[in-house]
């Protein structure tokens, strides 16, 4: 059974472990440990690479929360603190934050760097959600 860290309110006390919810409407917290298991599980995931000292990251946080609610059941959103997770940050070559990684089956298919309008992220998501 796969368990990983998720933010409140899903986690109860901060840092509690719980089983992931396929219909989650809030971003999950990702870490170096277990990153691959978490991201490979989903058809489409957006990973918000951020840090607490980053002003543009804080600006994007509510937008990511809104998109997680709008796309619940179709897209999973995750948050990766780049300061606390250097291995994953280095592996994906994150040079500036915020960076938004779009992953399908754990493989990067798109990337957006910097604070962008909500519709730019929505356009990428809609492209990957269109029937092929």
* Catalytic residue list: 54, 57
A 10 A CB-CB count for 72 gives 16
The secondary structure of residue 43, as a DSSP letter, is S
Q: DSSP strand E in 20-73: where?
A: 28-30, 45-50
Residue (of 125, 80, 85) closest to 104 by Cα position:
125
Q: Which residues contact 122 (CB under 8 A, 6 or more apart)?
A: 67, 70
Beta pairing class for 76-81 and 28-30: parallel
Q: Give the pair of three-digit tokens for residue 33.
A: 């440990």
Q: How far is CA 66 from the centre of its chain?
A: 13
């Amino acid at each position: 059974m796969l368990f990983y860290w998720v933010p409140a309110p899903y986690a109860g006390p901060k840092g509690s472990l719980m089983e992931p919810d396929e219909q989650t409407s809030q971003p999950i917290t990702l870490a170096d440990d277990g990153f691959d298991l978490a991201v490979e599980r989903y058809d489409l995931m957006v990973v918000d690479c951020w840090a607490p000292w980053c002003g543009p990251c804080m600006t994007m946080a509510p937008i990511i929360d809104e998109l997680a609610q709008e796309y619940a059941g179709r897209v999973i959103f995750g948050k990766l603190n780049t300061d606390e997770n250097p291995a994953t940050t280095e592996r994906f070559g994150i040079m500036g934050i915020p960076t938004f990684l779009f992953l399908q089956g754990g493989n990067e298919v798109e990337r957006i760097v910097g604070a962008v309008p909500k519709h730019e992220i929505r356009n990428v998501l809609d492209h990957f959600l269109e029937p092929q």
